[in-house]
Structure 1
Amino acid sequence: MISAHSFQEIPFEVQRVYYLYEVTEDRKSGYHANIHNQQVMVAVQGSFEVRLHDGVAAQTYLLDDPQKGLLIREGIWREVKHFSPDAICLVLCSEQFEEGDYMKDFGAFVEWKNKTIHSA
């Protein structure tokens, strides 16, 4: 059994949980950034890749161990792809779903990040 608790293994209070399953290998998910929402992604079964971009550089992670999660902070672009046929992706969120929290245009995201970095 694996367990996780808000503010212990998960660094925020979990406000929403969802999962992706029966995903075809060629399906892509994500392709957005959240302004406020943080997430922890876990490969409960199978595997998939998560590419994160902070507006300057990108890093790709292979999730294939249900005992490990990937923390995605707010303001980070994510792309989820290369799902194995049996993949189940569990996502724990710090916020309720709010459409206005999503940035779905990569160019606009990079511009927003540059403004955020330079105004800090």
Structure 2
Amino acid sequence: MAYQISLKTFTDARGNLTVIEKVIPFDVKRIFYIYGVDDSVRGGHRHHKTIQAAICIQGSCIITNNDGEKEEEFTLDTPDKCLILEPKDWHQMKNFTDDAILMVLASEYFDAEDYIYENYI
């Protein structure tokens, strides 16, 4: 089941510093980011093995999730929110603001065979 964690953020007169250290429940093998999205819906899959951590480092977006038992919607709108997606989490990303940058940390290297595109019935 997908769940959110808070990333430790230090704030002072100079600005903010958010740290990703010892909170991601896997070793990171791949990092990618999505930006410049029009009104398209991204994602639409789950995985056999890959766990992901999604952070909207600028702007906002919505991630809908279905783990086969429960459907949920998560709004990522601050860079200190991190959404953990388990392999069974069929997810879509949508409603990106014009300035949105969604960074995703993944537990596995890209493997086309790891993707399952069929949603739960």
Q: Unaligned 5+ residue runs, structure 1?
A: 112-120
| Cα root mean square deviation, aligned | 1.0
Alignment partner of 1:98 is 2:111: yes
Greater helix share, 1 or 2? 1
Greater strand share, 1 or 2? 2
Deviations 1:37-60 (A, max 9, x none): 000000100000000101122000
Q: Percent identity?
A: 33
| Distance in 2 (alpha carbons) for counterparts of 1:85 and 1:27 | 12
1:16 maps to: 30
| Distance in 1 (alpha carbons) for counterparts of 2:76 and 2:111 | 26
Query: Any residues of structure 2 matched to 1:1-120 within 5 Å, and which?
Result: 1-5=17-21, 8-24=22-38, 26-106=39-119, 110=120
- The runs of at least 4 aligned residues of structure 1 exceeding 6 Å deviation read none
- TM-score (norm. length: structure 2): 0.83
2:13 maps to: none
* One-letter amino acid matched to 1:104: Y
- TM-score (norm. length: structure 1): 0.84
Deviations 1:12-57 (A, max 9, x none): 0000000001111x11111000110000000100000000101122
Measure how far apart 1:3 and its partner are: 2.0
Question: May I ask how many residue pairs the two structures share in their alignment?
Answer: 105
Q: Unaligned 5+ residue runs, structure 2?
A: 1-16
| Distance in 1 (alpha carbons) for counterparts of 2:24 and 2:70 | 25
